[in-house]
Structure 1
């Protein structure tokens, strides 16, 4: 009978080992926060243009012909017997690279300082400048190379292009399929390039205070690294875990059957 108790204890231990440890739970204690505390954590963030950003800028007005000088066409060339002939492509494809001084070179207006401004701020600045030539112009600015990189214990690591104006670290991790079970959620590293100077900061995803962190919203070209928990093996796939659970179940069943047979034989001999 004692052997049965030992088997039962072993089974309970295996089930506890398979349960989710506390260090994989996000935002622990968030339900205990007061509305005032949550309000203090709220923050707004808008992406600002930096050096080496690639911008798409389109100018419109009631009179399309009046803004033609501000929307230079993009030319593609095709080889013909008479030589290369230009073919006009979409104007929306025309892009502007922010140089190392933070400027773009725009038709008619010349150099415009764009670094440090949001998309809307740059659009407003350009509308004011263009209004000297065109009545009621409308400028649309798009950031084309907003990219982040996920590394380490992430389900789908890699570089991701972001179409929105901003992305939080939680959205980025969700984009990568969440962290692996063996990722250290208390020590997520964010590496940032701030005007040529590398900055790094570590975040604790289990602490709701992350919502107030200046690194909660990622900037373009940020790198997010999720390191594995020390002395833990790399996270396994769901197929591996299923196989291991099946193997453990089979072993426990086999041991239980053998134990029952041994107990039965011993009882028969005693009779």
Structure 2
């Protein structure tokens, strides 16, 4: 009988540990640690009003190149004043370039903008090379994470896991089944919820890859609602110590 009690106690402690770990891991519905799934082509970033574009125009003529890129430096990005250097997409979706003039860029990718700017400038210039990138790409991560804040994205591709990594990951008290993403497209604000324990739905969601100015809100889990006194914070550790001591006493008899 005593042996049965000890076995039951150890089994209960083991199950409790397994349950706790599953609550704080991602994609725990994936059984195997290795494997593969086909990856759909990720959606390309599309330009919206308020974005800032860096458009570098190069030609064999150094004077022409300097004319188009007077502020070009080795590391494009925010200026010393905190304002991004580049072409601001206005509320109607246009930018204004030297020689090319007014061009509509909203809902277009940087690859398409490259082609259109090259075509327009080639009417006047020879051997034009155009490189376009967004320099204002950032996302905000708020809520139950280690380091909430806004984060710059240096590339045109960033997933929700990238954003969580920059924010120091979720706290153990965070709700991984209801992660909210807020996105504004063409003046309309969209909301969606991702379950980071559901790999198929999350990895195939159009919100898995983030867009410029996305807001990721991590909701606190039920445990976050309890009083945060020192005793409450230490309670799990105290209970674990008591359980371990009880196990040792029973095994020693």
When normalised by structure 1's length, the TM-score is: 0.72
Match of 2:155 among 157, 161, 164: 164
Q: Is the 8 A contact 1:24 1:206 kept in 2?
A: no
Q: Secondary structure at the match of 1:166?
A: coil
| Distance in 2 (alpha carbons) for counterparts of 1:162 and 1:14 | 43
Q: Secondary structure at the match of 1:218?
A: coil
Matched, 1:30 2:54: no
Q: Is the 8 A contact 2:10 2:247 kept in 1?
A: no
Matched, 1:44 2:42: yes
1:105 counterpart residue number: 96
| Distance in 1 (alpha carbons) for counterparts of 2:6 and 2:224 | 27
Match of 1:70 among 54, 63, 68: 68
Pick the structure with more helix per residue: 1
Q: How does 1:2-17 map to 2 (within 5 A)?
A: 17=16
Unmatched runs of 5 consecutive residues or more in structure 2 = 80-84
Q: Is the 8 A contact 1:42 1:211 kept in 2?
A: no
| Distance in 1 (alpha carbons) for counterparts of 2:115 and 2:62 | 19
Let me know the Cα RMSD of the aligned residues. Answer: 3.8
The structure number with the bigger radius of gyration is 1
Q: Is the 8 A contact 1:189 1:201 kept in 2?
A: yes
Structure 2 vs 1, CA of residues 115 and 161 (structure 1 numbering), >3 Å: closer, same or farther? same
2:82 counterpart residue number: none
Q: Secondary structure at the match of 1:213?
A: coil
Shift of 1:13: 5.3
Match of 2:127 among 136, 144, 147: 136
Q: How does 1:191-230 map to 2 (within 5 A)?
A: 191-209=182-200, 210-229=202-221
Structure 2 vs 1, CA of residues 42 and 129 (structure 1 numbering), >3 Å: closer, same or farther? same
Pick the structure with more strand per residue: 1
Q: Is the 8 A contact 1:53 1:98 kept in 2?
A: yes
Shift of 1:29: 3.4
Shift of 1:16: 5.0
| Cα deviations by residue, 1:40-98 (Å, 9 ceiling, x for unpaired) | x5332221111001112211112222444433x35xxxxxxxxxxxxxx8596752110
Structure 2 vs 1, CA of residues 168 and 8 (structure 1 numbering), >3 Å: closer, same or farther? same
Match of 2:57 among 56, 59, 66: 59
Q: Is the 8 A contact 2:9 2:247 kept in 1?
A: no
| Distance in 1 (alpha carbons) for counterparts of 2:63 and 2:247 | 86
| Distance in 1 (alpha carbons) for counterparts of 2:58 and 2:232 | 57
Unmatched runs of 5 consecutive residues or more in structure 1 = 75-88, 264-271
Q: Secondary structure at the match of 1:38?
A: coil
Q: Secondary structure at the match of 1:140?
A: strand
Q: Secondary structure at the match of 1:117?
A: coil
Q: Is the 8 A contact 1:54 1:95 kept in 2?
A: yes
